[in-house]
Structure 1
Amino acid sequence: MTLWLLPLLPFIAGITIATMGDRSRAWLGTLAIVVLGATLTLALLAAAQGWSATLIWSDTIRLSAEFMPISAAVAVMVPAVALAVTFHATQHEETRGLGRLTGLLIVFTGAMELVVVANDLLTLLIGWELIGACSWALISHKWREIENTHSGLYAFLMTRFGDLGLFAAVMALFAATGSFDYAGIATLQGPLQWIVAYGILLSAASKAGQVPFAPWLFRAMAGPSSVSALLHAATLVAAGAYILARLQPSLTLAPGFGATTIAIGLATALAGGVIGVLQNHAKRLLAASTSAQLGFMFVAVGAGYPGVAALHLIVHATFKAPLFLSAGLAGSAIGSYRLDQMRLGQAMPFIAGLAALATVGLAGLPVTGGGWSKEEVVKAAEHAGFWLALAVMIGGGLSAAYATRFQLLAFGRCDEDNCDREVSVPSWPETLGIAILAVMTLALTMLWFSPVADAAAATLGSLLPKGTALAFSLSLAFVATGVAGGVYLVRHYPALGATGAAAAASDWLGLPTLITVAVVRPVDALARAAAWADDHVIDAGPRGVAVLGRRGSTFIAAADNQVVDQGIRWTAVFGDWLARVSDRFGEAVSDGIPEGTARLTGMIGHDLRRLQTGFSHRYYAYIIGGVFVVVAILAAGA
């Protein structure tokens, strides 16, 4: 067996399904279960047996895949989450284009698996570009609405800018070591080490929606809810945190890498928490929470605990995916994602219950898997400094606030304004995927038991940090405060973020406007100036040459007409003179030459006949005379 099968199976199958066109929901659902179920089985076998693979292109270029403890765990998580999400998509999303959507979700999964199993930067780059292309296609899935295609391009360009860092890292590593292998990163020194480490960090931050790249996650909400669920939980966004956790031992050797990673993660966690509290759009609230939660993972990586980051990544996937799927059902039920218009707890009680299991994990409440992994991040931060741990606790309190607000507004009890409306209840196939993910979330509560947590850490090849009772108590206090604050906002400000200053601040505190003013408009102005220069300066030369050419052609044509006409006239005069001369002397010359030649030939013949006497002695005399002539000639020549 080869490890290449893990990404190739879903990739090839997904392309095949996408090109088949639309089919029935049952047929597409069955295909999704078969393909992703087989991918999950391959991941389990590969992790258990330690598969590896190498594809040699040349003496210096090769692609390699290998399982490390962290990559093995994430490789199993990705198809497990994708299976539930993709099946939900086949049962819930619009039938128009459903075959293409299903196939692309499966391709997305295969591309992410390539990122996970990669053991060199070149293989990583291939997978990295594939997940970026898939995200663009999936966000723009409803391409007939022009705003969706604009959002897909915005997200693609924002993440592509960050990808420049990975390209620089690939080139720097090859220039330094002559290889793309991950092992070479630890051997680097000097500027090339800095380029590789910070190039990967830049690319990871853009994919993970960290500041200043975070606004693209809001634009990505143009895609179907199933796309948002897979993108945020187990593929593109998760890839940013995964690659830092995977390469942390080598990257942290670069000066200042840990502190920079912590700064990016902490700033995003706090800003994302505030924005999540202010958001009135259900999917955007969850998108802000994704940035914040991945910010916690960046903090754990920077603090020196990549295993904690990987554990939080896995736990986060199990509760974020069902939240997006349930938000999609709520949005479809009322035709809007405005939280203050939902309150579907009584209309959709089962979905409300499943969402609650995921919400408490997002809030970081005790006894939940999300609460456990968040506390591990706090412990990791405490090892780097108490004030850092305190900042993470504040981020945890904000998480509790926006999670509470989401649950109570989306699936709380209806009020007088919306209790009488008719809401279509989702079918059991639509609910099944969410239920599977909720069960996974519930199962991770076992991490609060020390033997289970230690075994999970050992599986990842890492140790769990030790924390203090004071930090744990403070963290729980912040969570409780966040829950209370979320309840208060729902009761007194249910439409917070719908209008006014809160609505403006909820769009990443004005960061998109800053990007537009500081980046987009200057680049656009530069492009317009370059276009003007191209039209009026650079093109002036060719246009001038063309004008001169036209004028020269006109002059040459006129001169040509005069010269040619004059030549024709002189030719006619010469021809007339030649004809007259020929008429006078031509006949005499033409007749005299053959007649004179004939007379001369006759005279010569008459004289030669005299030599033919018939006497032999005369012939001998002729021969002897000839010999003497030849001898005389040779003697004169000597």
Structure 2
Amino acid sequence: MLWSVPLLPLLVAPGIYWLGRHGSNNQGSDKNSGRALLGLVGAATAIVTSLIAGLAILGDWSGVYRWSSQIVLLVGMTPVSAVFAIVVPLIALPIILYSVYHESEPGGGAASTGQAPARLVALLAAFVGAMELLVLAEDLVTLLIAWELVGACSWALIAHEWRETGNLRDAARAFLVTRFGDLGLYIAAAAAYAGTGSFAFADLTQLDGWLLNVFIAGAVLAAAAKSAQVPFSPWLFAAMSGPTPVSALLHAATMVAAGIYLVIRLHAEMSAVAWFGPVAIALGLTTALAGGVVACLQGHAKKLLAASTSAQYGLMWLAVGAGFPGVALVHFVTHAFMKSALFLAAGIAERHVGSYSLDAMRLGRLLPGIAAATMVASLALAGVVPLSAAWSKEEIITAAGHQASWLAVIAVIAGGLSALYATRFQLLAFGRGSRGGTRTAPSPPGHTRMEAAALYLLSAGTLVLSLLWWPGVGNSLADLLSIRLPPTRPWELIVSLLLVALGIVLGVWALRREVSDSSRQRARRAELAEWFGLPALAQQGVGTVMAFSHGLARFDDRVVDAGIHASARFGAWLATLGDRRGEGWFDGATSQLAKGVDWMGQWARQAHTGQTHHYYTGIAAGLAAILIILGTGALL
């Protein structure tokens, strides 16, 4: 029965595509009806998937499929997978509705005039199914199948607008970076099978020694690449070539979330080695700080949010490394709602000004309702009490302090950076300045209402999750999910809130200073905002590899191929020689051999005279020869 959770959206996706292509190709009012039908089916798919997942949790469903005598595919429901299985379709629901009215088929023009995005909605549904399979997997083979499906869907979604210059290149770049990390998961699966003879998660407790270390190293590589941790973080910028709904789902609850899910789900096995905790903490803190700085310098709305995603997932890695995977799980939920809302808000702003440049926006006066809903999510990202993400962020800081006080201090600084870039995003995108808001006409009212409704739903989810601050709610949730929360220390909370306030003040100050920056300062800021030049360095590395590859290709052409051609020419020469002279030589040699055999036969036949005295003479001569040989040997 549990197989129905991932299979439903995966099997419905082709039907959504067919329905969208045949139901929304008409013009006029029929076209809007087609969009409505597409949105209804897409939303229903997400709702039914969430309901079935809820029934699976209540009924403790599981699933087994025997592929072969050695490979058995398993799906099951744990507290971690249950949270992901519910959150993924819940986040996808408003995003699918938003995409129906915000996007069009590639080449179709603006959403108001083009065809409904049937392929996009179908891919989003398939993406949800692939992610559901990933979080329900109870063995490494099923996990790898889902991992590959998630990667393939992400490539197709990022390259959705494939006619746009550079989109296919960016999709390939994001795909290749994550594929490099995926190799780690294959290595981990091989190590698990070599050590236990099984791919099941339940048998990983039997793994030990160097195979356990190999398994954990491979899993960490795959998870770090997927969740965009340093040095893999820049692939998220390439992924920004995808449509806004893709960015919202990709960075909120699916693609990037797959990495942190893996380390949360396998935390018990990974924490068996001493080096996992320090590595996870180092990765998380480095990414949280670097991503925070990059977000503070970014002038592109979606890239700012992408850098923020890396930073927030870095905080989740910190919690896992500190020994509190449940805290990371809660922060995943709060982050999913607020970050998807911010991405949708960025898409609405871009529709109005025709650009993702934050300098061109300031739409607070034109879109007061959108600005208010975005502010809820921005304040949550900043960590302002009593919003949802503030609670989970404070739990992460407490978890870091449980390991060492200096870790808590660094986590507090990362939280201050969050407040700074969240303030900057809100004021630049939806501040009440004089810039932006008048460059293009607003979207048609119907479309704007549906896009706004999706944003309002996600912001409302952020507000509902703020109940975590209510006394006893957080602890009750922890008991329900069987997770452990670290004991709160007052000084950590006080210092954290002070840094949040300081970050907001610095955000306002930095925004005012940006206006008077020189072109040289802006260029320097833009250079640092591209992950400190890491993509350019990676490009140089790729260039070096390509140059080496070209050198090997030239060596192959000039040396290896030359040897092959020389061998071919030598073979042809031997064939020609055999054709011209070899036949005569072989025939002559055969004739001479036959003559020699005939002569020897004639000579041997002469001894057979038929006369008895000739045979006796031969026998006597043979005996004499034997006696002479024996006598000679005795004398010697």
Query: Given the two structures, how large is their TM-score scaled by the length of structure 1?
Result: 0.85
Equivalent-residue separation in structure 1 for 2:64 and 2:431 (angstroms): 53
> Counterparts of 1:345-360 in structure 2 under 5 Å?
345-360=364-379
Q: Secondary structure at the match of 2:240?
A: helix
Partner of 2:279: 260
Residue ranges of structure 1 left out of the alignment (5+ in a row): 564-638
- Name the amino acid aligned to 2:123: L
Number of the residue aligned with 2:79 = 69
| Aligned mates of 1:530, 1:4 — CA distance in 2 | 48
After superposition, give the CA deviation of every residue in 1:324-369 in whole Å (9 maximum; x if it has no partner): 0110111121111110110011111111111111111111111000
1: CA distance, partners of 2:451 / 2:403: 44
1:231 aligns with 2:250: yes
**Which residue type is aligned with residue 505 of structure 1?**
L
Instruction: Find the residue that maps to 1:427 and give its secondary structure.
Output: helix
**In 2, distance between residues paired with 1:512 and 1:487?**
29
Q: Distance in 2 between matches of 1:267 and 1:413?
A: 35
Distance apart, 1:521 and its partner CA: 2.3
Residue 255 of structure 1, CA deviation: 2.3
Q: 481-490 vs 423-432, which deviates more?
A: 423-432
Measured against aligned partners, the alpha-carbon deviations of 1:515-573 in whole angstroms (never above 9, x if no partner) come to 223x312321221122112211221123223434555666677779x99xxxxxxxxxx
| Kept in 1: contact 2:353–2:439 (CA 8 A) | no
- SS at 2:163 equivalent: coil
Give 1:238 shift: 0.7
Superposition deviation, residue 427 in structure 1: 2.0
Deviation, structure 1 residue 419: 6.1
Match of 1:104 in 2: 123
Match of 1:342 in 2: 361
**In 1, Cα distance between the equivalents of 2:20 and 2:328?**
39
Q: Which residue of 2 aligns with 1:279?
A: 298
What whole-Å deviation, never above 9, does each CA across 1:91-131 have from its counterpart, x for those lacking one? 11124471111000000000000111111111111111110
Shift of 1:49: 1.5
Cα distance, 1:422 vs structure 2 = 4.5
**Partner Cα distance (1:58, 1:461) in 2:** 35
Tell me how far apart the structure 2 counterparts of residues 26 and 392 of structure 1 sit (CA, whole Å).
Answer: 45
- Residue 453 of structure 2 corresponds to residue 432 of structure 1: yes
Indicate the residue corresponding to 1:16 in structure 2: 15
Residue 462 (structure 1) aligned with residue 483 (structure 2): yes
What is the aligned partner in structure 2 of residue 615 from structure 1? none
Q: Distance in 1 between matches of 2:370 and 2:253?
A: 22
User: What's 2:28 paired with?
Assistant: none
The answer on whether the counterparts of 2:388 and 2:466 sit within 8 Å (CA) in structure 1 is: yes
Aligned to 1:511: 534
Shift of 1:19: 4.9
Q: Secondary structure of 2:166's match?
A: helix
Aligned partner of 2:100 in structure 1 is 90
Q: Is the Cα–Cα contact under 8 Å of residues 361 and 437 in structure 2 kept in the other structure? A: no
How far is 1:283 from its partner? 0.1
SS at match of 1:51: coil
Residue in 2 aligned with 1:528?
A: 550
Tell me which amino acid in the other structure corresponds to 2:478: A
| Per-residue deviation, residues 203-250 of structure 1 (Å, max 9, x unmatched) | 000000000000000000000000000000010101111111111111
State the shift of 1:58 in Å: 2.4
CA contact (8 A) 1:185 1:251 kept: no
Contact 2:352 2:439 in 1 (8 A): no
Whole-Å Cα distance in 2 between the matches of residues 495 and 332 of structure 1?
27
Matches within 5 A, 1:443-462: 443-462=464-483
Aligned mate of 1:542, from 539, 559, 564: 564
Q: Shift in Å at residue 21 of structure 1?
A: 5.4
Find the aligned partners of 2:92 and 2:35 in 1 and give their Cα distance.
17
- Separation in 1 of the partners of 2:516 and 2:63? 54
1:137 paired residue among 129, 140, 156: 156
Deviation digits for residues 583-616 of structure 1 (CA, Å, limit 9, x no counterpart): xxxxxxxxxxxxxxxxxxxxxxxxxxxxxxxxxx
Using structure 2 for the length normalisation, give the TM-score: 0.85
Structure 2: 5+ residue stretches without partners: 25-33, 109-115, 585-636
Which residue in the other structure is 1:317 paired with? 336
Q: Secondary structure at the match of 2:162?
A: coil
Of 64, 78, 85, 2:88 maps to 78
Structure 1 window deviating more from structure 2 (528-537 vs 38-47): it is 528-537
Q: State the secondary structure of the residue aligned to 2:472.
A: helix
Counterpart residue type for residue 361 of structure 2: M
AA at the equivalent of 2:176? L
**Is 1:39 the counterpart of 2:49 in the alignment?**
yes
Contact map agreement 1:274 1:398 (CA 8 A) in 2: yes
Give 1:368-387 correspondences, 5 Å limit.
368-387=387-406
Structure 1 residue 183: deviation in Å?
2.1
Give the aligned partner of residue 241 of structure 2: 222
Residue aligned with 1:64, SS: strand
Partner residue, 2:511: 490
Distance 1:397 1:41 in 2: 38
In structure 2, the CA distance between the partners of 1:99 and 1:420, relative to structure 1 (3 Å rule), is closer
Give secondary structure in 1 for the equivalent of 2:433: coil
Secondary structure of 1:141's partner? coil
Equivalent residue in structure 2 for 1:499, among 506, 522, 529: 522
- Highest Rg: 1 or 2? 1
Query: Match for 2:104: what amino acid?
Result: E
Do the aligned residues in 2 keep the contact of 1:70 with 1:461 (CA within 8 Å)? no
Q: Is 1:115 matched up with 2:115? A: no
Same amino acid, percent of matched pairs: 45
Matched AA of 1:473: I
CA distance in 2, matches of 1:224, 1:319: 18
Query: Aligned equivalents of 2:478 and 2:59: distance in 1?
Result: 19
Of residues 150, 172, 187, the one that matches 1:168 is 187
Q: Which amino acid aligns with 1:424?
A: P
Q: Aligned pair count?
A: 559
Output the aligned Cα RMSD.
1.9
CA drift at 1:448? 0.2
Output the CA distance in 2 between the equivalents of 1:228 and 1:494.
Answer: 29
Instruction: Give the partner amino acid of 1:33.
Output: A
How far does residue 495 in structure 1 lie from its aligned partner after superposition?
Answer: 8.3
Indicate yes or no: 2:69 matched with 1:59: yes
Deviations 1:33-69 (A, max 9, x none): 1211110111111112211111112232101111111
User: How far apart, in 1, do the equivalents of 2:559 and 2:302 lie?
Assistant: 49
Question: Secondary structure of 2:145's match?
Answer: helix
Q: Deviations over 1:481-534 (max 9, x none)?
A: 1000111111221487993111000001111122223x3123212211221122
| Aligned counterparts of 2:252 and 2:542: Cα–Cα separation in 1 | 29
Query: How far apart, in 2, do the equivalents of 1:495 and 1:462 lie?
Result: 49
Amino acid at match of 1:537: V
After superposition, the Cα gap between the structure-2 partners of 1:420 and 1:87, relative to the gap in structure 1 and judged at 3 Å, is: closer
CA distance in 2, matches of 1:209, 1:268: 9
SS in 2 for 1:84: helix
Secondary structure in structure 1 of the residue aligned to 2:363: coil
| CA distance, structure 1, for counterparts of residue 277 and residue 103 of structure 2 | 42
Residues 98 and 144 of structure 1: CA distance in aligned 2, closer, same or farther (over 3 Å):
same
Alignment partners' CA distance in 1, 2:513 and 2:306: 24
SS at match of 1:210: coil
Q: Hey, what's the Cα distance between the residues in 1 that align with 2:54 and 2:191?
A: 35
How far apart are 1:433 and its partner, in Å?
A: 1.2
